[in-house]
Amino acid sequence: MPARLSAHKRGNSGFASGFYLVSIHCPVAGEDRCPPAQAARALFDQNVIWDPHAGFGPDPGVDLSKLQVWKDAGVNYLSVDVGYDVMDWRDTIKSLAAFRRWILAADGYRLVGSVAEIREAKKAGDLAVTFDLEGMNALDGSLDLVEMYHHLGVRQMLFAYNRNNAAGGGCHDEDTGLTDFGRAVIAEMYRVGMLVDCSHTAYTTTMEAMEASTAPCIFSHSNPRALWDHERNIWDDQARACAATSGVVGIVGIGIFMGENDTRTTTLADNIDHYVNLLGPEHVGIGLDYALQDEFAAEGDDSEDLAGLSDMNPEY
């Protein structure tokens, strides 16, 4: 008997509520069993495979041809980071412009703006791409920029990249909570159709943001702190609050968030298993945050400048 698929949906209209969270069910004992390979193939064939955060350095010099790695792995839809809080917001605009230009000109890739366009890209064999922002410093204090970023292809944004900003608290800083500006940004994100992302953000800010949300929230790349006590990881009640919005928690594959630079596949599976048991499989995803080490190998790159920015947030 083939695997049966069920879908769950919550939220208002627009991009942020258009994702279906899919769980797979094999027959009960006594019926013909569903082989694991068959179940996996059903998931790949009948659903969109989404990686909600690729950790490319947000710099115009990045070689985006490396996106082929995600295509080869079977990913249908990828969100690409175009800026984070330690950057000047004007440099974020430059990265976004460069990435957007490349995607629009390249064969096999498609800049999308809706769930329907993601599904169309999959049918055509193209990798659907949108952009994300790691922190609201990219807004420079202006709500008007939310809609501008949306028009340029940004479909998710988190509050604070590790350190506090005008919207709320970062996970490596004083836990100040969601600000009035942060609440206003949430409302504007839902108006235009963006996903509210709580990764990298302080505990109180995330809990207040999810309480204020009217559509699914995500932790695009956050592991369980119950398994590894790192400030970038999240507590189980944060994950439960995310699931209560019908949202998804994405498991990150970077070793320092799984242990002492532990990159074993079994450890990654342990993190997935923890959330599957805690939340149910429909609320668990994978947001690997991977980038390739030689992405700045091209002559004339800006890798030293980017390394300088990373040094400003040494704990990630």
Give the pLDDT score at 302: 41
Give the pLDDT score at 297: 41
- DSSP 8-state code for residue 177: -
- Mean pLDDT calculated for residue range 43-66: 89
The model's pTM is 0.85
Radius of gyration of the chain from Cα atoms? 19
**Two tokens, residue 168:** 């709320």
Q: Rounded distance, CA 18 to CA 225, Å?
A: 29
% residues pLDDT > 70 (the chain):
82
Domain locations in the chain as residue ranges: 4-311
Give the pLDDT score at 215: 94
Query: Which residue is it, tokens 């932790």?
Result: 219
Report residue 3's pLDDT band, with 50, 70 and 90 as the boundaries: very low
CA atoms 254, 259, 265, 268: torsion sign: negative
Residue 75: which of 294, 246, 290, 281 has the closest Cα? Answer: 290
The mean predicted confidence, pLDDT, of the chain is 86
Give the pLDDT score at 69: 93
Report residue 227's pLDDT band, with 50, 70 and 90 as the boundaries: very high
> What digits encode the pLDDT tens for the residues 74-100?
999 999 999 999 999 999 999 999 999
- Mean pLDDT calculated for residue range 205-213: 97
> What digits encode the pLDDT tens for the residues 161-173?
999 999 999 999 9
pLDDT at 247 over 80: yes
Q: Are 161 and 182 in contact (CB under 8 A)?
A: no
Least confident of 39-43, 152-156, 196-200, 208-212: 39-43
Q: Are 121 and 128 in contact (CB under 8 A)?
A: yes
Identify which has the larger pLDDT, 105 or 2.
105
SS3 track for 86-116? CCCHHHHHHHHHHHHHHHHHCCCEEECCCHH
pLDDT at 310 over 50: no
Q: Are 85 and 163 in contact (CB under 8 A)?
A: yes
pLDDT at 132 over 50: yes
Q: Are 118 and 112 in contact (CB under 8 A)?
A: yes
Give the pLDDT score at 21: 37
> What digits encode the pLDDT tens for the residues 252-271?
999 999 999 999 999 999 99
Name the residue type at position 197: D
Q: Are 67 and 75 in contact (CB under 8 A)?
A: no
Q: Rounded distance, CA 203 to CA 51, Å?
A: 24
Instruction: Considering the domain delimited by 4-311, tell me its CATH architecture.
Output: Alpha-Beta Barrel (3.20)
pLDDT at 148 over 90: yes
Collapsing DSSP states into helix, strand and coil, what is residue 261? Answer: coil
